[in-house]
């Protein structure tokens, strides 16, 4: 069974489009995250939710809007896609706050904006 | 503010030799330190972490790391490298107290040569 799953795995789209990435975890964790990994493999946190409440919101353009319908799901909607949004987006989860807990990562969604 | 530095973009080691992947950190407070590994086209996997207690931490796949407070380092080590250890390794740091984000280093590519 996949602990943290993401859909889709690959996403190729045109500039200006709106797209969503979905994430689900079956680990019973109460905290979920979105990370962006750029072409140089640099990994940066975007958002973190604990029990459906936003707790970390890094300096991300407001074109990016996370939504957590329940503890097991954290989706990412991106409006007006730009070339610079091309990256791999990782969802992760942990039990409790991030600072001392192990994070479990999904397989990633590879987004290419043309 | 917190930061973590991985000074080597790539480390090459012969199979069977000991390996070290370096990490230094900067925080204002007590750090929590992590190592994660990323195989090609996969999400990150947890290897080990230092929270408190014994400075020598043992983790998955025979890896270990030593927390050195005076040198603000947390180098990853393994006594005998395997070709299957070839991957991208990330050091990460967070702070105790409240909801704190985890900051990842830029990653070090480990190449184990047969």
- For the stretch B72-94, pLDDT in tens is 999 999 999 999 999 999 999 98
pLDDT at A12: 97
Rounded to 5°, angle at Cα A60 from A21 and A30: 55
Task: Enumerate the residues of chain A whose CB falls inside 8 A of the CB of residue B36.
Answer: 103, 105
d(CA B94, CA B87): 23
pLDDT at B101: 84
For the segment B55-64, what is each residue's pLDDT rounded down to a tens digit?
Answer: 999 999 999 9
Instruction: Return the exposure string of A60-78: e unless at least 16 CB atoms fall within 10 Å of the residue's CB, then b.
Output: beeebebebeebbbbbbeb
Q: Is the pLDDT of residue A21 over 70?
A: yes
d(CA B10, CA B33): 21
Task: Enumerate the residues of chain B whose CB falls inside 8 A of the CB of residue A92.
Answer: 43-44
The two beta strands, A43-50 and A53-57, are antiparallel
Parts of chain B with a pLDDT under 50: none
pLDDT at A42: 92
pLDDT at A98: 62
pLDDT at A89: 97
Q: What percent of chain A shows pLDDT beyond 90?
A: 77
Q: Is the pLDDT of residue A1 over 70?
A: no
Task: Enumerate the residues of chain B whose CB falls inside 8 A of the CB of residue A50.
Answer: 99
pLDDT at A101: 85
d(CA B43, CA A32): 15
pLDDT at B98: 66
pLDDT at A59: 78
Mean pLDDT of A16-27: 97
Among candidates B43, B46, B98 on the partner chain, residue whose Cβ is nearest the Cβ of A106: B43
For the segment A35-56, what is each residue's pLDDT rounded down to a tens digit?
Answer: 999 999 999 999 999 888 888 8
pLDDT at B52: 87
User: A15 versus A2: which is more confidently predicted?
Assistant: A15
pLDDT at B49: 94
d(CA A58, CA A48): 9
For A107, nearest residue in chain B (alpha carbons): B43
Q: Is the pLDDT of residue A19 over 90?
A: yes
A98 CA: distance to closest CA in chain B (Å): 6
Mean pLDDT of A4-29: 96
Q: What is the mean pLDDT of chain A?
A: 92
Among candidates B42, B46, B102 on the partner chain, residue whose Cβ is nearest the Cβ of A98: B102
d(CA A88, CA A110): 4
């Amino acid at each position: 069974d996949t602990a943290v799953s993401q859909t889709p795995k690959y996403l190729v789209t045109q500039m200006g489009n709106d797209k969503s990435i979905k994430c689900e975890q079956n680990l019973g964790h109460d905290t979920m995250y979105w990370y962006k990994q750029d072409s140089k493999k640099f990994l940066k946190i975007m958002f973190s939710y604990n029990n459906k409440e936003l707790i970390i919101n890094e300096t991300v353009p407001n074109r990016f809007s996370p939504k957590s319908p329940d503890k097991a799901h954290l989706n990412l909607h991106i409006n007006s896609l730009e070339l610079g949004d091309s990256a791999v987006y990782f969802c992760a989860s942990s039990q409790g706050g991030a600072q001392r807990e192990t994070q479990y990562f999904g397989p990633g969604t590879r987004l290419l904006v043309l | 503010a917190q930061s973590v530095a991985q000074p080597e973009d790539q480390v090459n080691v012969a199979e069977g030799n000991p390996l070290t992947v370096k990490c230094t950190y900067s925080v204002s407070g007590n750090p929590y330190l992590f190592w994660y590994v990323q195989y090609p086209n996969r999400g990150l996997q947890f290897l080990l972490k230092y929270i408190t207690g014994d400075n020598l931490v043992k983790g998955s796949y025979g890896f270990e790391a030593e927390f050195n407070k005076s040198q603000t380092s947390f180098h990853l080590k393994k006594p005998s490298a395997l070709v299957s250890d070839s991957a991208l390794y990330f050091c990460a740091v967070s702070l105790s107290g409240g909801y704190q984000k985890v900051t990842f280093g830029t990653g070090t590519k480990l190449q184990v040569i047969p």
